[in-house]
Amino acid sequence: MTNLRSLSARAQKRPLWRVSGQQKKGFSTSSRRYSYADTVPNLKIGAHTKVLFQGFTGRQATANVQESLAWGTKIVGGVKPGTEGEHLGLPVFPSAQEKAKPDASAIYVPGNQTAKAIEEAIEAEIPLIVAVAEHVPIHDLLRIHSILNTQSKTRLVGANCPGIISAIGKCRIGFQPLPCFSPGKIGIVAKSGTLSYESVASTTRAGLGQSLCISMGGDVLAGTNFVDALKIFENDPDTEGIVLVGEIGGTAEIDAAEWIKDYNRRTTNPKPIMALVGGLHAPPGRIMGHAGAWTAVGEPDAESKYQALERAGAVMVNHPEKFGEGMKNLLNSRTRDRNAMPTSAPNQKRGLHTMRRVSVAKTQDMFPSKQTRSLFIKQFQALDMLKEKSISVQEASPSGSDIFLTLTIDRTALSPCIIASSVADFAPSKTSRFPFAYSATGISSGEGPIIRSIASHLQLPESTHKNLAELVQALWQIFKEKEAYLLEVRVNPSAEGSLEVRGARFGFDDAAFRSSGRQEEVHRLRNPAEEVQEEVEAEKDGIVYVKLQGEGSIGTLVNGAGLAMNTVDALTIHGGHCANFLDTGGKATSETVKSSFRIITSDTRVKAIFVNIFGGLTRCDMIAEGIIMAFRDLKMSVPVVVRLRGTNEEAGQKMIAESGLPLHAFDSFEGAAKKVISLAGGKPSN
């Protein structure tokens, strides 16, 4: 496979990985300068790809292997630690380093075991690792990325993603719903699983099919990003058009926009690119289902991402069902342009109007409202943690001389990062980012380069450097010891050169507790009685529910965080007013549907409910049965509009239509949106 020499600016030599003061060798044996970016070509899977399964004998892996084998994927066996034998007629190996010599490994173990399995596959120098589990602790992944960045053999896809699939090569590494896929010409890269399935189904219905579909995943730290995928699609002869599905959180979409702008500038008749960004109407400061679906200080919001992609030349849509016909039109135009032998790269927009522009409020404070799927402690608790580290603390109101420090995660550098700003709104001109290695030990020194750089940016006198180093070191200790992902402090420098912390907001990774049983003492600081009770009740059933403010009259019930964000966006764009965001999870069941209805109808504002389900892992007829049963059991009177797409969609739609209940079945989003808006007493936009 051709080596892509220009894949990344991170091609410099990386330091060796250090753990607990012990030096561990880098995993690559190459003597040349190496880079994780060298592994991007490993994403081009196909009929040749030999796949190993880690967690091979588990229930989910077994079912997945059986489906994938029947589809045509070349699976060579699996791993069960310490065991040799046979499963499904394939060999079982005691470790990933034994015998099989695979091209890829599918990791099917729980979130608390995922990092260990990934490390084992890296040590075996397996070219591609696909990690599907969610709730992998963030600090486990920070450690994994510190390892990945020392080598040039292994590429990671995930975690928290459906995987990667070649429809042409019949190679599935993940749990994507196979009935949606057909061999074809569209490359798809997405953060959201359900939105990627919708995109696949749309291109299948349009007769275009797919070449390669890559999931970026919904975690804070992604092993493969949009630019990595775009580079593969650019050089892939099977890919003629590209679909990109983004959402709030991080800067990956902005990086993709810069790449697209450069690609269009340097390419005659470039491949058409279409895109969608979820979370245009997500409330500021909330985590919207995916662990990475939140906007940190200094990060662009969804509207900024939308505008950047549009300016770069991507055709923007408001719903994934528009990708199929839209891409067909763009490909036809590209063929005409090619036949006309253009002298410069064409404008891809070509008048395809797909989205009514809506102004989105940009209200992001330093300390925004509480989030879910994480743990934010109270300010006094955060200040107490700093006092325990001998940091000078005095809670006080903001003043014009305050400076602001945040220790968080840089999603591009895939490492910890200090953000320093002289203004509360973190205006770009007043803000700088200082990423550093997760294994770094020198950030506390007053003479260290990071401390000097932060002090220089904030224009702090040399007399403050020692206190600044002590504060940064205290934040770093709390970050690692208690598995934080966001530590924000408001600091006031005195005329004598001291630094006093006046305000703080600390956020911790709840996956460390939920999946791994770590950080129980931090988790005990949570007081659910002070939270929104509907959100707490939903959490008990594995449902992510966010109560939206305002005049919301439409309740939403959706399977998948990305699809749930897009549903709120699209209904709002059509003139509706949503009362909530609700993600049942990728595997909606009759019980989760029933619990969801109960929570939604407890909101007296709700006049109609919109159920938007893509039946991928779960069949539409099973979902329809669950909706009908829940409707009857709860004796509901609120009208419900149901849009079912995916596996067995016709059977599910028929069951809804023939139920005799006030349920309205649709397959088209446009039709369903107009119906639910009118039932809720609104007037759909044209």
Helices 379-388 and 465-481: angle between axes, nearest 10 degrees: 110
Nearest-angstrom CA–CA distance, 556 and 17: 46
Q: In the numeric block, which tokens belong to residue 548?
A: 């939206």
- SS3 call for 422: coil
DSSP assignments along 296-357, one per residue? -TT---HHHHHHHHHHHTPEE-SSGGGHHHHHHHHHHHHHHHHHT--SSPPPS-TT------
In residues, how long is the chain? 686
- SS3 call for 121: helix
Nearest-angstrom CA–CA distance, 53 and 75: 8
Cβ 169 vs Cβ 154: under 8 Å: no
Which residue type does 615 have? G
User: Active-site residues: which are they?
Assistant: 290
Closest CA to 188 of 139, 148, 242: 242
Run of H or E including 375: strand 375-376
CA distances, 632 to each of 39, 406, 588, 592 (Å): 53, 50, 18, 15
Nearest-angstrom CA–CA distance, 593 and 540: 14
β-pair type (663-666, 640-646): parallel
Nearest-angstrom CA–CA distance, 97 and 102: 10
Helices 252-266 and 226-235: angle between axes, nearest 10 degrees: 30
Cβ 603 vs Cβ 580: under 8 Å: yes
Cβ contacts of 498 within 8 Å, gap of 6 or more? 392, 464, 467
- SS3 call for 635: coil
Which residue type does 60 have? Q
Q: What's the N-to-C CA distance of the chain in angstroms?
A: 50
User: Quick one: CA dihedral 192, 195, 197, 203, positive or negative?
Assistant: negative
Eight-state DSSP code of residue 132: -
Longest dimension (CA), the chain: 78
Closest CA to 55 of 104, 118, 120, 107: 107
Nearest-angstrom CA–CA distance, 649 and 655: 10
Cβ 410 vs Cβ 249: under 8 Å: no
| Residue the block writes with tokens 């070449």 | 211
Nearest-angstrom CA–CA distance, 140 and 115: 6
